[in-house]
Each structure stands twice: as C-alpha cells, then as structure tokens.
Structure 1
Amino acid sequence: MKRILIPIDFSEYSEEALKVAAQIARKNNSELVLLHLLELPLQANALTGSGSSIPEIMFFKNKAIAKLEELMDADYLKGINVSEAIEFKKVSEGIIDASIKNDVNLIVMGSHGTSGFKELLVGSNTEKVVRFSNVPVLVIKKKAKEFKARNFVFASDFSKETRKPFRKMIEIAKIFDSNLFLVMICTLNSFKTTAAAERIMSDFIADFDIKNYSTHIYNDINIENGIINFANSVDADLIGICTHGRTGLAHFFNGSIGENLVNHAAKPVITFKM
C-alpha cells in the first residue's frame, strides 16, 4: 500500500482517522497525504475560532497550512513520510479528485459516531466518497488506542462482479492478519435456501487462495440490519462491503445500503468499489 489519503477538517474525528492511517502506514511503509478542503466562507469558524467570514482566500489558506504543519509534528507521525494538500473544492469532489491526483491506494475518513460526519465531513459527503471512490474507503467510528482488524466481516452476494473488490479485500485482510468471516445475508426479498447459498459461496471462494476464513449465512429483516447484527455476533473489528458507483449497490446491495451502513454501523467500515 503505497499512499493513503486522509481528509482533515481539524476535528477530533479526522485526527482519529489520521492516527489509524499512521498505524497502517507503519505496517506497510506507506506515505500519508493530509488533505484539507476549503469551502469559503465555511472555514471561518474552524480556522479562526470566531464567527468572522473574512473574504481573503490567502488568509484561510495560510491558516490551514499552519494547522496542517502543526498536526504533522504529532509524535504518532514521526518516521512516516507525510505530505499535505489544500484544495479549494467541495468536500466530496475534492477528496475524489485528490485520490486520483495523488494515486492513493486507500482513503481513511473519520466519522462522528452513528450519525455521519461532523463539521466539514458531514451528511452526504461520506456517502458520495463511498459511492464514487475507485479505491477502498475506510471509515473510522470511534477512538481506539490500537486499530485492529483481527475479526474482519466481509458481506457479499458473491456474484462474479464482486471478484475484483474481493481481491482488494484479501489484500487488506493480509495486512492485519485477519480472521475472515465471509457472510451472505438472506432476507425475504433476497431469500436463498441454505444449500443454494452454500453452493454459491463455495464455488466463488474456490477461485481464490485464502486462509483463515469461515463462511456464514445469516437471516434478518433487511441487509443492513443483517450485516450489523452478524458483525456484533462475532465481535467484528471491521466490516467490509462492495459498492457499485453511480448506480448504488448492485444485486445484493441495492438502494443505499452501503452508504447507510457507513453512517449507522458503530464499527469501522471499509468499502470496495465493484
């Protein structure tokens, strides 16, 4: 994993994401790119601590640079190659553009509990990043002294189009030496017999060289609840799902389940685009 992008809005949530990214970087000798988005005049409160809306663009840019450089001096970043970037763009668009421009392999974002992002990283921004990012997006939900993904739940319908994101998921699992819990959620609207579900999963997994995994079938009232409830039942450290770009989530993940899961799950979530 060569390069990791971390959107920074100077909140405690984005700093928690940075701390997690630093741990991942140390495991993989990765470079960190700290990205701050300026949407004037919305930055006045965050950068100056007042209600001022001073129009001079360079004032806010210089304030942001100073705060980023202060953050880059943190002890937990010592020894890691860290660079900074400031863009004058809308948050979600700026994050996607920066991920492409900097050729990153992972985006790590902080989240405010179960109600989405705070301050700049609010509301639909996380959903848009998850939906449109071509690289995996890791959403961190709460403070943790040490980020771990020992128990890694990956929920899927195990269709052919999930093969590419499945490979990326395996790469992440290897980084953390994870025990993989591969699960298919069955509901009234996506019902499969146990025999049919087991056959689909067995045929899919046969094409991959993976270890330390188990397969599961879990019934619930809907997909989102099923993923969350199953993850809780195995004490998961991380939840992984596939996303499907502009059309939302394909087949098993229809509608906005992926985006909702990122906002509602209390556990960290990582998404992989199909």
Structure 2
Amino acid sequence: MKNILVATDFSPESHHAFSVAVQLARHTGGQLTLLHVLEAAEGAAGGFSTVGGPVSGHSIDEIFVIKLMEATKRRLHALRDEAAQLAPGVPVHDEVEMARVGDGILAAVQRLGTDLVVMGARGHGAVEHFFVSSTTERLIRLAPCPVLTVKHPAADFAVRNIVFPSDFSGEAAGALDGLRQVQAAFPGATLHLLHVAAGADGHVAQQQMQDFANEHRLANCLAAEVDAGQVSAGIEAYAQRVAADLVVIPTYVRSGLSHFLRASIAETVATHAFPPVLTYHLAG
C-alpha cells in the first residue's frame, strides 16, 4: 500500500479520503497521486466538463476547457501544499484524466501501477458530486487493486480495531494474503473475526472462527458472531459497537460462492458503514 491514488472531486467526502490517504502514506512510507477526472460530456465532440453542459469544440469552448484545466490544477496544487504541511517528506503528484469518472480512475490505476485507491463515498442522490455510490460500487467491482472508501473525517487515522467478516469456510482462506498485508501495516491492531448469521448457533461459529485463527496463525484476534437478517447490517452494527477503525472485506465477483464473498455485500458496507472500508479481490 505504498503507491496510493487519491481520487478527488473536491467535495467534503473526497477531502476526508485525502486526509486518510496522507496519513496512510506517512505511516507506510508511501507516495500519493491526486487524481481529478474531468468528465466527458454526453455527445460532446472533443470537449469536457466537470458538471456543466456539453462542450462543442468551438473556440470559446476550447478556451473554457483550458480555463477549467487551469482551475483544476490550482485546486490540486492546493491539496499538494496541504499534504506537505500534514506529512512533510511524502511525495505527492497530481493527475487530470479526461473521461467518464469511473473509466478515468481505472485508466489511471492501470497507467500508474497503483497499489491502493482511496476515495470518498456518499449515497445515491448526491448529484453535485461524482462520488455517488454507483461510482464507488463500480470501482469495487472492477479495480485491480484494493479500494479504501472513506465517508467521515478521520483526523487521527490510527488503526486499533480491524473487523474482518467472513463465514470462515475453505474459500475464506483465499483472502488471507490481503488480510496479512493489512495486519503487517498495523501490527498493533486487534483483529475482530466476525460471523453474521440469522439465528445461528453461536458456540459452533465461535469454535469455527477459533479453529480458523489457529490454523492460519492469526495473531491478536477476537471472534464474534452477530445475529442479523442482513449480512451488511450485521457488519455495520458490529463495527460501530467495537469502534472499528477499519473494515476489511474481500470479494470475488463470481456466482456460486459464499455470500460473504459477493461484491454486493462489500459495495453496501463500503457506502453505508461509518469507518473506512477496504475491499479487495480474491486471487483467481
């Protein structure tokens, strides 16, 4: 998690994500790239805008695009200056993509060899920002690297409690590489192994989680089960109860696997749960 891409639309939520990313880069000795996407206007011939109407390609519109690029660069440079104050010595670069928002972020991830995308998230209906949940959900499904979503301010991103929800089946073992990377980044954090089920036998689940932890030599962990009708709701409730600093959810976009590994669960938690949520794909 050293080559970090921060996707920003300059909204409050994306600034929360920026703050977390700066702290994470300082903690890991990483570097940041700040990315803003000028979204292609529908039907435009060679022109772009962030939230406005189509840009037709005439000279006045070309001037508008140039001015828009200049204004965007100034805002990115202001974030670079802020990062230099918050974390002196952390390398910070900036990029502007011209594309549809999701496509632009994915293109930058590929071009830059990004290890982690950090982005703000807010719910459907937030038309003034591009980080509506549909964009977040698309990135979770398609990004080849982990995605960290941030919804609230985190002035002190000190990870002390990590929640890892799973059914702890054989498939869950495939998620351990990603989980170990998180534990290596935050070695002092308590790992909460969480099973969510409706009316399940808590004793059996506790034993299964303990066996899983012992088999894979997971250190500094606790096991818990939550009785909830919806997996995502159970994860959110438990994360709030233990004051989680980070929720880690592996996904595998393939039918037939455990519902804990379905991308839809990760997407719902990422756009609803209070703490930052890290999602990543299982190998294979």
- Whole-angstrom distance in 2 between the partners of 1:115 and 1:149: 28
| 1:45 positional shift | 6.6
Instruction: Pick one of 240, 243, 253 that aligns with 1:235.
Output: 243
| 1:248 positional shift | 10
Are the equivalent residues in 1 in contact too, given 2:140–2:263 (CA < 8 A)?
A: no
Are the equivalent residues in 2 in contact too, given 1:169–1:272 (CA < 8 A)?
A: no
Are the equivalent residues in 1 in contact too, given 2:150–2:276 (CA < 8 A)?
A: yes
SS in 2 for 1:73: helix
Are the equivalent residues in 1 in contact too, given 2:167–2:258 (CA < 8 A)?
A: no
- Whole-angstrom distance in 1 between the partners of 2:258 and 2:18: 31
**Can you list the C-alpha shifts for 1:185-232, whole angstroms capped at 9, x where unaligned?**
1126xx5x3454345434433343331111112211111111111122
Q: Flag the 1:51–1:84 CA change in 2: closer, same or farther, 3 A.
A: same
SS in 1 for 2:158: coil
**Can you list the C-alpha shifts for 1:153-182, whole angstroms capped at 9, x where unaligned?**
110122333334332122223323211100
The aligned residue for residue 158 of structure 1 is: 168
- Whole-angstrom distance in 2 between the partners of 1:32 and 1:173: 21
Residue identity matched to 1:55: D
Are the equivalent residues in 2 in contact too, given 1:115–1:264 (CA < 8 A)?
A: no
Question: What does 1:32-47 correspond to in 2, within 5 Å?
Answer: 32-41=32-41
Instruction: Pick one of 185, 196, 218 that aligns with 1:175.
Output: 185
Matched, 1:68 2:66: no
Question: What does 1:192-207 correspond to in 2, within 5 Å?
Answer: 193-207=201-215
Q: Flag the 1:116–1:153 CA change in 2: closer, same or farther, 3 A.
A: farther
Identity across matched positions, percent: 33
Q: How many correspondences in the alignment?
A: 267
Are the equivalent residues in 2 in contact too, given 1:105–1:136 (CA < 8 A)?
A: yes
**Can you list the C-alpha shifts for 1:242-265, whole angstroms capped at 9, x where unaligned?**
222365984334472221111221
Instruction: Pick one of 186, 206, 224 that aligns with 2:232.
Output: 224
Alignment TM-score, normalising by the size of structure 1? 0.85
SS in 2 for 1:210: coil
Are the equivalent residues in 2 in contact too, given 1:248–1:256 (CA < 8 A)?
A: no
The aligned residue for residue 86 of structure 1 is: 96
Residue identity matched to 2:72: A
SS in 2 for 1:55: helix
Q: Flag the 1:204–1:133 CA change in 2: closer, same or farther, 3 A.
A: farther
The aligned residue for residue 197 of structure 2 is: 186
| 1:39 positional shift | 0.7
Matched, 1:97 2:103: no
- Whole-angstrom distance in 2 between the partners of 1:10 and 1:137: 18
The aligned residue for residue 19 of structure 1 is: 19
Gaps of 5+ in 1: none
Alignment TM-score, normalising by the size of structure 2? 0.83
Are the equivalent residues in 1 in contact too, given 2:247–2:276 (CA < 8 A)?
A: yes
| 1:129 positional shift | 0.7
Q: Flag the 1:21–1:251 CA change in 2: closer, same or farther, 3 A.
A: same
